[in-house]
Structure 1
Amino acid sequence: MASLLLAASAPCLGSPAPAVDFGYEYYPVTGATTDEINASIQVQTPIVAGGRKYGAVTRNDFWTNYARVDSPSGGCEVRNVRVKLRTRIILPSLQPGRRSAAVQAEWGRYIRALHEHEMMHAKNGARTAQTVISRLFRFKSDLSCSEMGPMLDAAVNQLISNISVWDMRFDSETQHGATHGAVLRGGIR
Structure 2
Amino acid sequence: MFDHRITTTLLLLTTLLPALQAQAEVTETLTMTNYRVGTVSRGELRSAMNAASPIRENGEIFHGYTKWHINWSFRWKTSPGGACRISSVRTDLSGNITLPSLSNADTATMTQFNQYLTALSSHEMGHFANGKETARAIDNAIASLPEMPNCQVLEASANDLAQQLIRTGNMQDKQYDATTQHGKTQGAWLAK
TM-score, normalized by length of structure 2? 0.80
In the other structure, the counterpart of 1:121 is 127
Q: Does structure 2 retain, via aligned residues, the 8 Å contact 1:74–1:142? A: no
Give the superposition deviation at 1:41.
1.8
Give the superposition deviation at 1:73.
4.5
Query: Could you report, residue by residue, the CA deviation over 1:73-99 in whole angstroms, capped at 9, with x for unpaired residues?
Result: 54221133111111111000111x240
User: Structure 1: which 5+ residue stretches go unaligned?
Assistant: 1-11
1:21-170 correspondence to structure 2 within 5 Å: 21-33=29-41, 35-95=43-103, 97-99=104-106, 101-137=107-143, 139-170=145-176
Q: Which amino acid aligns with 2:187?
A: G
Task: Give % identity.
Answer: 26
More RCO (CA 8 Å, sep 6+): 1
Q: After the TM superposition, which of the residue ranges 159-168 and 145-154 deviates more from structure 2?
A: 145-154
Give the superposition deviation at 1:35.
4.1
1:173-188 correspondence to structure 2 within 5 Å: 173-186=179-192
TM-score, normalized by length of structure 1? 0.81
Superposition RMSD in Å = 2.2
Q: How many residue pairs are counted as aligned between the two chains?
A: 173
Q: Does structure 1 retain, via aligned residues, the 8 Å contact 2:145–2:158? A: no
2:24 aligned counterpart, secondary structure: coil
Determine which structure has more spread, i.e. the larger CA radius of gyration.
2
Q: Does structure 1 retain, via aligned residues, the 8 Å contact 2:35–2:100? A: yes
Q: Which amino acid aligns with 1:147?
A: V
> Higher strand fraction: Structure 1 or Structure 2?
2
User: Structure 2: which 5+ residue stretches go unaligned?
Assistant: 1-19
